[in-house]
Amino acid sequence: MSIVEIVVLGLALAMDAFAVTVSNSFCYKGASRARLFALPVAFGLFQGLMPLICFFLGGIIGDIIETYAGIVTLVILGIIGGNMIKEGVSALRHPDDSCSLESERLTAGVILMQSVATSIDAFAVGVSLRAVNVDIALSAVIIALTTCACCFVALALGKRFGNVLGDKAQIVGGVVLVLIGLKAMFF
């Protein structure tokens, strides 16, 4: 994979964190700036660490994965991307008219749980990165920085546009993941 492809992968993986950041900035209106700024940092950190962890765990079954790299990448990214598309479309069809989080606090525990939840797809991508034999350290840093940058943009956009962008961003991220999986399978 080229650096451009890794950045695109990072953008696709960042879309769920982007969506959550937009929603958080809209829903947690009373959150401090420090707490809101913790979102991009935490999301970026987890998005970078998860593929790194899975990359090395994938080493246990690495020979099998490398033999079937294209199909493994397509299946993993297809499932993750398809799920993101499904959730995004569902959210567009059934929008939540009111935000129930306004009275709650954006705690470190909430941020941690959201960071783990939004990075599970990045964990699975670690196997795919091993299968296509990339520099995992560089890839993890690029994914982390891309996610962090996207989430800082999401903070600004969330203040202006609320929930609308979050759902559409998840669909775009899912489409990109599926396209990267198709590229790995056929090219």
Q: Is the pLDDT of residue 75 over 60?
A: yes
Measured in whole angstroms, the distance separating CA 78 from the mean position of its chain's CA atoms is 14
Mean pLDDT, to the nearest integer, of 55-73?
67
Give the pLDDT score at 103. Answer: 45
Beta carbons of 43 and 148 less than 8 angstroms apart: yes
Tokens of 77: 């990214």
Using CB atoms within 10 Å of the CB of residue 187, give its burial: 0 to 12 exposed, 13 to 18 middle, 19+ buried: exposed
Give the pLDDT score at 100. Answer: 44
Q: Please give the backbone phi and psi of residue 8, each rounded to the nearest 5 degrees, phi first.
A: -65, -45
Q: How many angstroms separate the CA atoms of 139 and 53, rounded?
A: 12
Residue scoring higher pLDDT (152 or 132): 152
Using CB atoms within 10 Å of the CB of residue 138, give its burial: 0 to 12 exposed, 13 to 18 middle, 19+ buried: exposed
> Among 28-32, 67-71, 146-150, which stretch is predicted with the lowest mean pLDDT?
67-71
Q: Is the pLDDT of residue 86 over 50?
A: yes
CATH of 3-93+106-186, one of 1.20.1250, 3.90.75, 3.30.160, 1.10.3470: 1.20.1250
Domain positions in the chain are 3-93+106-186
Q: What is the SS3 assignment for 41?
A: helix
Q: Please give the backbone phi and psi of residue 87, each rounded to the nearest 5 degrees, phi first.
A: -65, -40
What value does the mean pLDDT of the chain take? 81
40 pLDDT tier (thresholds 50, 70, 90):
very high
Q: Please give the backbone phi and psi of residue 57, each rounded to the nearest 5 degrees, phi first.
A: -70, -35
Q: What is the pLDDT of residues 110-142, one digit of tens each?
A: 898 888 888 877 887 887 888 788 899 999 999
Handedness of CA 18, 5, 81, 55 (dihedral sign): negative
Question: Is the pTM here over 0.85, yes or no?
Answer: no
Q: How many angstroms separate the CA atoms of 103 and 91, rounded?
A: 22
